[in-house]
C-alpha cells in the first residue's frame, strides 16, 4: 500500500513533465488556460482527497488516478497581456483599478502641517502612565 501512495504522489510531477514535453498539451494549456488551470487544481484536490482517504468506495482509486493525471495543469498559466510595468508578469490576477498603488516615500515635499494635525490625534496618555 505505501508503494501505491508513493506512485500516486508522484503523479502530479509526471503529469507536468508530460505536459511540458508535449507540444500540443503545452498549446492546450496556453490557449485554454481558463479551463485547464482550474481543472488541474481540481485534479490536485481529488488526488489529495484520495490519498488522505476522504474518497471511499469503488470510484476512489480511479478518481485519484485521474486527478493525479490532470493535476499537472495546475502549474501552467499564461503570461499577463496587460501593459503594466510592475515587474510581476506571471501574477494571475491584475490589481484592481479602483485602488491606485501606494506612492513610494520621497515623491514630493513632506506636508509637516498634516503630520502635526495627525500627531495631535495620536497624542494621548503615554503607555507607562496608562498602566498605573
40-64 b/e (C-beta count within 10 Å ≥ 16 → b): beebbebbbbbbeeebeeeebeebb
pLDDT at 104: 59
pTM: 0.58
pLDDT at 13: 92
pLDDT at 132: 53
pLDDT(37) > 80 = yes
Residue range 50-77: mean pLDDT, rounded: 88
The phi-psi region of residue 57 (left if phi > 0; otherwise alpha if psi is between -120 and 50; otherwise beta) is left
126 or 64, greater pLDDT: 64
pLDDT(90) > 80 = no
Give the pLDDT confidence of 92-102 residue by residue, as tens digits: 555 556 666 55
pLDDT at 100: 60
* Residue spans per domain, the chain: 2-75
Amino acid at each position: 500500500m505505501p508503494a501505491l501512495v508513493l506512485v500516486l504522489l508522484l503523479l502530479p510531477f509526471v503529469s507536468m513533465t508530460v505536459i511540458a514535453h508535449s507540444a500540443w498539451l503545452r498549446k492546450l494549456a496556453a490557449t485554454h488556460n481558463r479551463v485547464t488551470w482550474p481543472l488541474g487544481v481540481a485534479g490536485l484536490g481529488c488526488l489529495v482527497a484520495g490519498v488522505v482517504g476522504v474518497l471511499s468506495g469503488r470510484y476512489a482509486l480511479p478518481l485519484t488516478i485521474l486527478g493525479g493525471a490532470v493535476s499537472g495543469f495546475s502549474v501552467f498559466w499564461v503570461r499577463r497581456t496587460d501593459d503594466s510595468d510592475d515587474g510581476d508578469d506571471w501574477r494571475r490576477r491584475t490589481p484592481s483599478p479602483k485602488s491606485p498603488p501606494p506612492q513610494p516615500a520621497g515623491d514630493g515635499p513632506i506636508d509637516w502641517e498634516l503630520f502635526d494635525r495627525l500627531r495631535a490625534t495620536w497624542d494621548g496618555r503615554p503607555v507607562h502612565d496608562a498602566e498605573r
